[in-house]
Amino acid sequence: MKAVLFDFSGTLFRVESTETWLAAVLDRAGLTLPEGELGRTARALERAGALPGGAPPEAVPGHLADLWATRDRDAASHRAAFTGLAREVPLPDPGLYDALYERHMTPAAWRPYDDAADVLAGLRERGVPVAVVSNIGWDPRPVFRAHGLDPYVDAYVLSYAHGIQKPDPRLFALACEALGADPRETLMVGDDRRADGGAADLGCAVHFVDHLPTDQRPDALRPVLGLAGR
């Protein structure tokens, strides 16, 4: 493989836990919840799928179904879908719903997987170009910069910027074009069998990793070095 495409969330980075996410926003707002309520509220938000990059919704409310299906095609839809899910859970201040969404876009909310830097650096040393291809409603470049990974990424191909979301092969085609790469010599690495698997329809090879907490997935990206740069 002469080029590599990576997904963002669940592949190179993992978002913070729902409880940490909620606690950070409450603290910033100067609010507290009664003893035991923080955990219960965080679990309700997790069941609702309110944290982008976190657990998917257990059930999408009917009034959000159409929006959910196309949430990654533009920034406004992404925000509306996730704040809509969050509003299914009562919070002590209505301003918290937008504050939660804003929090998830900050570098502090994300941690790279332990092997991400080494694998990206190894690809750079071999002269293998890299693109990030993500279904997302915002620009993750500040996250990559804050964690020191931006120098290893040659292109970012983001669904909301193109109005196309994975598994549509057109998004992967744009990434290959940005790298000047032949899809037949390109590897897509992701955690979503359906979304990231769409690269196979373009002719890319696909390598899957599991969307796990960082402490449970220390080296799942390392096999990429054995697949690329030959």
Same domain, 88 and 145: no
pLDDT at 222 over 80: yes
pLDDT at 141 over 60: yes
Give the domain range for residue 172. Answer: 3-14+111-227
pTM: 0.95
Tens digits of residue pLDDT in 101-134: 999 999 999 999 999 999 999 999 999 999 999 9
Domain stop point among 58, 86, 108: 108
Same domain, 9 and 58: no
Q: What is the CA radius of gyration of the chain?
A: 18
pLDDT at 35 over 90: no
DSSP result, 36-80: THHHHHHHHHHHHT-STTSPPPSS--GGGHHHHHTGGGSHHHHHH
Tens digits of residue pLDDT in 176-215: 999 999 999 999 999 999 999 999 999 999 999 999 999 9
Q: Is 123 exposed, middle or buried (0-12, 13-18, 19+ CB in 10 A)?
A: buried
Same domain, 76 and 148: no
CB 167 within 8 A of CB 191: no
> How many domains is the chain built from?
2
Domain stop point among 74, 108, 142: 108
Domain stop point among 84, 108, 132: 108
What percentage of the chain carries pLDDT values higher than 90? 97
User: 3-state DSSP call for residue 15?
Assistant: strand
Tens digits of residue pLDDT in 68-78: 999 999 999 99
At position 23, the amino acid (one-letter code) is A
User: 3-state DSSP call for residue 104?
Assistant: helix
Same domain, 7 and 121: yes
Tokens, residue 19: 């409880």
pLDDT at 230 over 80: no
CA distances from 15 to 75, 88, 144, 201 (A): 19, 21, 13, 29
Same domain, 51 and 157: no
What percentage of the chain carries pLDDT values higher than 70? 99
